[in-house]
Amino acid sequence: MSDPSGARASAPVCYRHPDRPTYIRCQRCDRTICPQCQTQAAVGVQCPECVREGQAGIRRPKPAVVTAFRRGSSVPVVTYSIIALCVVIWGLQMIPGSPVTQWLLYYPPFTGAQPWRMLTALFVHSQGSFFHIVFNMFSLFILGPILERSLGRWRFIALYLISGFGGSVAVLLISPTTPVVGASGAIFGLLGAIFIIQRKLGGNTTQLLVVIGLNLAIGFLPGTNIAWEAHVGGLVAGAAVALVYLRTRRRDQQRRQALLVAGIALALIVITVIRFAMLVA
Tens-place pLDDT, residues 70-126? 555 678 999 999 999 999 999 999 999 999 999 999 999 999 999 999 999 999 999
Examine the domain organization and report whether 204 and 85 are in the same domain: yes
Residue 124: inside a domain:
yes
Examine the domain organization and report whether 44 and 98 are in the same domain: no
Per-residue confidence (pLDDT) for residue 143, from 0 to 100: 92
Q: Is 231 a catalytic residue?
A: yes
Mean confidence (pLDDT) of the chain? 85
**137 within 8 A of 102, measured Cβ to Cβ:** no
Q: Which domain holds residue 44?
A: 4-57
**Counted domains in the chain:** 2
- Per the residue annotation, which of 126, 139, 168, 184 is the catalytic one? 184
Q: Is pLDDT at 137 greater than 70 in this prediction?
A: yes
Residue 72: inside a domain:
no
Q: Is the pTM of this model over 0.85?
A: no
Residue 190: inside a domain:
yes
Per-residue confidence (pLDDT) for residue 101, from 0 to 100: 93
Examine the domain organization and report whether 37 and 82 are in the same domain: no
Per-residue confidence (pLDDT) for residue 5, from 0 to 100: 45
Residue 160: inside a domain:
yes
Examine the domain organization and report whether 212 and 244 are in the same domain: yes
Examine the domain organization and report whether 50 and 188 are in the same domain: no
- Per the residue annotation, which of 125, 139, 163, 231 is the catalytic one? 231
**234 within 8 A of 189, measured Cβ to Cβ:** yes
Sign of the torsion angle spanned by Cα atoms 238, 239, 240, 242: positive
| C-alpha separations of 61 from 58, 64, 65, 207, 248 in Å | 9, 8, 11, 35, 22
Examine the domain organization and report whether 164 and 119 are in the same domain: yes
> Can you tell me the distance from the alpha carbon of 182 to that of 121, in angstroms, rounded to the nearest whole number?
6
Examine the domain organization and report whether 104 and 179 are in the same domain: yes
Q: Is pLDDT at 237 greater than 60 in this prediction?
A: yes
Examine the domain organization and report whether 167 and 257 are in the same domain: yes
Examine the domain organization and report whether 239 and 135 are in the same domain: yes
Examine the domain organization and report whether 118 and 252 are in the same domain: yes
Per-residue confidence (pLDDT) for residue 157, from 0 to 100: 97
Examine the domain organization and report whether 37 and 106 are in the same domain: no
